[in-house]
């Protein structure tokens, strides 16, 4: 018999080791790190979750895409940093 679980996105993220960030600090940090030349600069973003075990923050765009950024906490990053990965939906985040 197959068991199906109906989890909300918040419950799923908690199982994956993420917590809900508070305030705008994570948005401001991302903005500081990516700079004006990044494709997400100027887009409406929400910090959806932060990893309990590292520097990963999950952001949601107004288009419904998810991005996991590995923040560096530096505004002078080398090319290719901060590292990010795009996911088209929460199910793909779960599989990552």
pLDDT of residue 13: 64
- Sheet with 45-51: strands ordered across: 18-19, 45-51, 56-61, 66-70, 83-87
> pTM of the predicted model, to two decimals?
0.74
pLDDT of residue 17: 67
Coarse DSSP helix, strand, coil percentages of the chain, rounded to the nearest 5 percent: 25, 25, 50
Q: 70 with 79: CB under 8 angstroms? A: no
Q: Taking the chain (96 residues) in consecutive chunks of 10 residues, what is each chunk's mean pLDDT?
A: 52 66 81 88 88 82 91 77 88 79
pLDDT of residue 6: 52
pLDDT of residue 86: 94
Question: Buried (b) or exposed (e) across 50-83, using 16+ Cβ within 10 A?
Answer: bbeeeebbbbbeeeebbbbbebeeeeebeeeebe
């Amino acid at each position: 018999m197959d068991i199906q679980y109906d989890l909300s996105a918040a419950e799923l993220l908690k199982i994956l080791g993420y917590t809900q960030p508070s305030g705008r600090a994570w948005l401001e940090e991302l903005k500081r790190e990516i700079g004006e030349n990044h494709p997400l600069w100027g887009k409406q973003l929400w910090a959806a979750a932060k990893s309990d075990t590292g520097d990963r923050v999950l952001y949601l765009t107004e288009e419904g895409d998810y991005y996991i950024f590995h923040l560096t906490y530096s505004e002078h990053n080398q090319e290719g940093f901060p590292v990010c990965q795009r996911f088209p939906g929460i199910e793909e985040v779960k599989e990552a």
